[in-house]
Structures are given as C-alpha cells and as structure tokens.
Amino acid sequence: MKKQISFSTQGHRADIGEMVIYRILPNRYAEAVGPFVFLDHLAPIKHSTDKPKMKEGTSAHPHRGIATLTYVLSGEGEHFDSRGNHAKVYSGGVQWMKAGNGIIHDETMNPDSQTGNPEMHGFQFWINLPSNIKKEDPEYLSINANEVPQMQLGEDNGWLKVIVGRYEELASKIPDYSKQYLYHIQLKEGKQFSMSTEKELEYAIFLPAHDLTINDTKFVAGDFIEFDREEGTIELTNTHEGDVDIILFGGEKYAEPILAQGPFVMNTMSEISEAYNDFHSGKYDKVVYVK
C-alpha cells in the first residue's frame, strides 16, 4: 500500500544578503519531522564576479541544544566556531556541529574554488538533541563529498546518498542519538524509485529544483511534503526532462517537550533563559577566524 500524504506546502523567503533563502521548516503545518526542527534552503545563485568573496560569514551567532548540519550541493562552505574548529567543504560536502551546552559559530558560502563553478546551492538543518545530549560539550565534524556514502539505484535509475543515518548497508559518519535519516536521491529522467517505510516514523520530502510525482500525485519545485505515520511505500516517479534531486528526511518523533526561541532549542523555558544568560555572560567564548 502506498503511504498517504498528510499535506504539502512551500517555504517563505528569509534572505541573507545576496543569498536567496527559503525557510521550509518549521511551517504552518509542522514544527518538526522526527528530530529535524529547522530547514533553510539556499536556492541556487551564481556569485557575481564584481562582488568580493565572503570572508567572515553572515555574522557569528550562538546555538545550544541542537546539532546544525550544512549540506553544500554546490559551492564552498567554510566553518569557524568558538571552540577553535575550522574547516572547508566543497560541492557535495557536509558540516555537522553539535552545539550541546553552547557554542558560537559562523559560516561562509562561496563559489567552489576547486571547480571554478560560480553557483552556490545548499541546505541547513537543525537536528534536535535529547535532553541529556544538550548538556554535553560541543563537537564538530566535516565530511568531504567523497566520504559521503552513496549507492547506485537498480536499473540505472539514479543514486542515493546517506547524509544522516543508514540505508541498507550504507551508514553516515554523523552521530545520531535516535532513529533518524537524511537522504539525497537523484532520479534520472523517466525513472522510478520506491522505498518501504516503518510505522510511527516520520517522513518528509523536499523538492529543491524540479517537479516530481510522489505516490501518483504531482508536486512542484519548492514543495515540502509530509506523510502519515502508517506503514507504506513511497514511490517516486520522474516525468521531468532531466534528472531530479530529492531530499528525504525524518525519523523517530522527538519524545520530549520542544521549546525553541531564536538560536536555542531546549526542553523548558528555564533552560532557554539559562542559554541566553550564559551567552550574554560570555560563557560561549568568541569565534576565532582563521585566515
């Protein structure tokens, strides 16, 4: 039986400088999908040749209680934080940061210096942490494109990358603290892909650039689609002229209270107050920019 679709919606604009940003999650229908409580889509843009490259990001800012995950489809992402972590990833790379009990970070997004491609395109997710993990020290991990687990789909239908979690024999390097997954699927023109789902797990799809038929219903570029909680099959059919990229993510429902305010996601209002107090008192330190 094909899985039922609960709703679909589109994001709203939340631009930063020249970057065209669409806030996909939370939205008017859902505050989370599994542990994922936030998704921003950096729509594809070409960097203007007359503008300088970004050197110090959009501005340093704090986080607590979540893990941030930046997936760079095309471009060059650079990370700095107040624990001294610094790294660059290029097209296809991933940056994961466990904010834990508090950190300040900044990220830049520039054209890929390895390929010379001027296009910048990517995503940032926030993954909610269990209350005990929110108390731990921050951690950071960068994963280059060639380290992201990938498999070819049968009958030359396309490929699937595991950004978070597991799929068949593939497993991401990114730590997970509950059953969760984030897949990037590329489906070739005229091809189809089906996957079975588990009861009670939450599933959502985002279509960054092209239309796609999902369980016999056509959706358009920019659509966010969420499914019901019953077992079933998700069937993807590409009737578009060319390859289609699909972001599929979700997992176990977050079982604890969710209280989000600004850059902090905690379980109680007192924890939110503590997060702000610690930030304003300087406990998160300052970002060190590496030249």
CATH of the domain at 254: 2.60.120.10
Say yes or no to pLDDT of 54 above 80.
Answer: no
Residues of the chain with pLDDT > 90, as a percent, come to 90
| Residues 249-262: tens digit of each pLDDT | 999 999 999 999 99
User: How many Å separate Cα 207 from the centre of its chain?
Assistant: 13
Residue-averaged pLDDT of the chain? 95
What SS3 class is residue 241?
Answer: coil
Question: Higher confidence at residue 279 or residue 59?
Answer: 279
User: Cα(40)–Cα(12) distance, rounded to whole angstroms?
Assistant: 10
Angle at 128 between CA 198 and CA 63, to 5 degrees: 160
Say yes or no to pLDDT of 111 above 90.
Answer: yes
Residue 289 within a domain: no
Residue 291 within a domain: no
Count Cα atoms within 13 angstroms, Cβ side, for 171: 5
Q: What is the pLDDT of residue 47?
A: 74
pTM for the structure as a whole: 0.95
Q: How many domains does the chain have?
A: 1
Q: What is the pLDDT of residue 290?
A: 81
Q: Which residue has the tokens 């990517």?
A: 122
Tokens of 182: 């984030």
User: Cα(61)–Cα(107) distance, rounded to whole angstroms?
Assistant: 10
| Residues 193-242: tens digit of each pLDDT | 999 999 989 999 999 999 999 999 999 999 999 999 999 999 999 998 99
Say yes or no to pLDDT of 50 above 70.
Answer: no
The DSSP secondary structure of 122-166, one letter per residue, reads: EEEEEEEPPHHHHTSPPEEEEE-GGGS-EEEPGGG-EEEEEEESE
Residue 226 within a domain: yes
User: Cα(155)–Cα(167) distance, rounded to whole angstroms?
Assistant: 18
For residue 222, is it left (φ>0), alpha (ψ between -120 and 50) or beta?
left
Residue 285 within a domain: no
Residue 95 within a domain: yes
Residue 210 within a domain: yes
Q: Which residue has the tokens 């950096």?
A: 42
Tokens of 74: 């095309």
Residue 234 CA: distances (Å) to CA of 5, 55, 194, 290: 10, 42, 6, 45
Domain of residue 131: give its range.
Answer: 5-49+59-280
Residue 290 within a domain: no
Residue 288 within a domain: no
What SS3 class is residue 269?
Answer: helix
* Ranges 5-9, 17-21, 196-200, most confident: 5-9
| Strand pairing report for 66-74 and 94-98 | antiparallel
Say yes or no to pLDDT of 82 above 90.
Answer: yes
Q: What is the pLDDT of residue 188?
A: 97
